[in-house]
A and B are shown apart, each in its own frame.
Chain A
Amino acid sequence: MGNVDSDFKPSVPVLDSNMSLGRRHDKPVNVDSVEGVRSEMERAGIGRGLVYAPHAAIFDSGEGNRTLVETIRSSDKLLPQFVCNPSFDDLSEFAAHVDSEGVRSVRMFPGLHNYPFRPWVIGPWLDWLAETGIPVWLPVEFELIGPIPSTNPVDPRDIYDTLSQRPEIKAVLSEAKYGDSSWALPLVRSLPNLDFEVSRFVPGGGITSAVEAIGPERVLFGSRFPDSAISPQLFSLHHSDLSKDALQAICAGNAERLLGIG
């Protein structure tokens, strides 16, 4: 008979590096308020979350980012991550907004926003990322429901070519799925400046494979809340035979280092 940890709580501090906050036009959002997010974080036993605004991803990054920071201003547990769309946004305005709000990371959606992650489209933005040291999260896809449902995948060849030419840029590959196993780990193994967020990475033995490929210092816990529950992947991390140091790094330390916070 199994002995199951039915009252599981994480044994180390946790910073969830993949959360979103705000309503979407294409589907109801499971939890759409600061209070609701904080309640779920408390139930899951996690201390901080890095959040972006879905509206910023889907329609208007500027509007979505502004709403996000106003929404979470009173919560020190939620850290804002700004979405940028280099094919639409004004870089100087965006940079000023990032600076004024003390934002420490950004998220790009090349597939969703329909541009190649290539210098001939995003060259000035790459320069800005390099100058500021601000890390960029790169989700593998972003699912939209609508007349033509789409997943908007990113092209891994673009990520490889661009980041291998710009080793000073820090990036995080986010939301790779089990079906991406054949290229996702080789990609992060090939790029020392590309870390790996594991919210959707659930192939058999996936956590172990990721740690073996790039070391625990480049793996980040994320949940993809509120689409996904916070705790299942945390449970998996805690049952993957990781050392305490490795678990601490994956659950919070690596994200803290990328974000420049303690």
Chain B
Amino acid sequence: MDTPVIDFHAHLGNWARHAMRGDLERYVDIMDRAGIDKACVNCIFLGDARAANDVVAEFVARQPDRFIPVAFVTPHYPNETIPELERAFSQLGMKYLKIYPDYFRKPNDDPAYFPIYEWLNERGLAVMSHPSYPFDRPGTTVKGKFTALSERFPNVKWVLAHAGGSGNTETLEAARDLPNVYLETCGSTAPFGAIEKGVRIAGAGRMLFGTDMALLDARQALGKVVTADISHSDKRQILGLNAIELLGLDK
């Protein structure tokens, strides 16, 4: 099946605890073996967002035909956030924003993010984060959280990392019912029937193929979508067509 394959979720940097190595040659080798055309890469391991975004820009510059740069900012340094967003998107050509609330200890509906979301909202850009956290406010639901965020920031595209491959009904229903919520598919497990369930509930148009490379192996991640019991048309949407449309990439 000839179709564009775009990995929406890949990380740069080393994470020694998990034997993760962010070598460009390693990424390209695995992408070639798997059949992945391009990977959206972020760097979330540095407390200095400017330094992290420079890592991404330098990496992408070495092989711009295979990688798409993704921005990162941290709410811990609010005075730096908006200038860095301006730089990342205007000068470095970043295509969407990745935030990592798990390590910020602030859930993604914390007001600390609102200036960031407002900036994205004015430009109709996407942001990806995990959908929920152990430190969410009591009683928070994924749908409730993203309903409120979508109403306040209607032009932002919300990408829920891992949610497309989890089979979590509540999260899938949130994507079904909210116009700007998307579900990325990667994860360290391949729950039986999860991709099929995502297509059934949220629709293939809301799902984005991702790998978590180089933490996880891109081939297993691709295999989850490729071997799912869904139509070729659905696979093509998930594997790349949705990302092209969401990020405004050349076809």
Contacts and interface: CB of A to CB of B under 8 A. Distances in A.
Interface of A: 1-8, 30-31, 43-44, 177-179, 181-182, 200, 202-207, 209, 224-229, 231-236, 239-241
Given A202-B220, A231-B223, 13 more contacts: A1-B4, A4-B5, A8-B226, A30-B192, A177-B188, A204-B218, A209-B19, A229-B190, A229-B193, A232-B220, A232-B223, A234-B223, A241-B33
A87 to B, nearest CB: 29
Contact of B1 (A6, A182, A224): A6
27 contacts: A2-B5, A2-B35, A2-B36, A2-B37, A3-B2, A4-B5, A4-B226, A5-B226, A8-B226, A30-B193, A31-B192, A178-B188, A182-B17, A182-B18, A200-B189, A203-B215, A203-B216, A204-B20, A205-B217, A228-B189, A228-B191, A229-B227, A232-B220, A235-B223, A235-B226, A240-B33, A240-B219
B102 to A, nearest CB: 15
B166 to A, nearest CB: 12
Contacts of A225: 192
B112 interface: no
B184 to A, nearest CB: 16
Contact of A203 (B18, B33, B36, B223): B18
Contacts of B221: 202, 232
By size class, the interface of chain B is 35 or more
B76 interface: no
B214 A239 contact: no
Contacts of B18: 178-179, 181-182, 203
A70 B126 CA distance: 54
A2 B4 contact: yes
Contacts of B240: 2
A204 B213 contact: yes
A240 B32 CA distance: 10
Contacts of A202: 188, 216-217, 220-221
B3 interface: yes
Nearest to B189: A228
B218 A2 contact: no
A175 to B, nearest CB: 10
Interface string B226-251: 11110010010001100000000000
B152 interface: no
B125 interface: no
Contacts of B217: 202-207, 236
Contacts of A5: 1, 35, 226
A239 B219 CA distance: 7
Given A203-B215, A204-B216, A207-B217, A8 B223 contact: yes
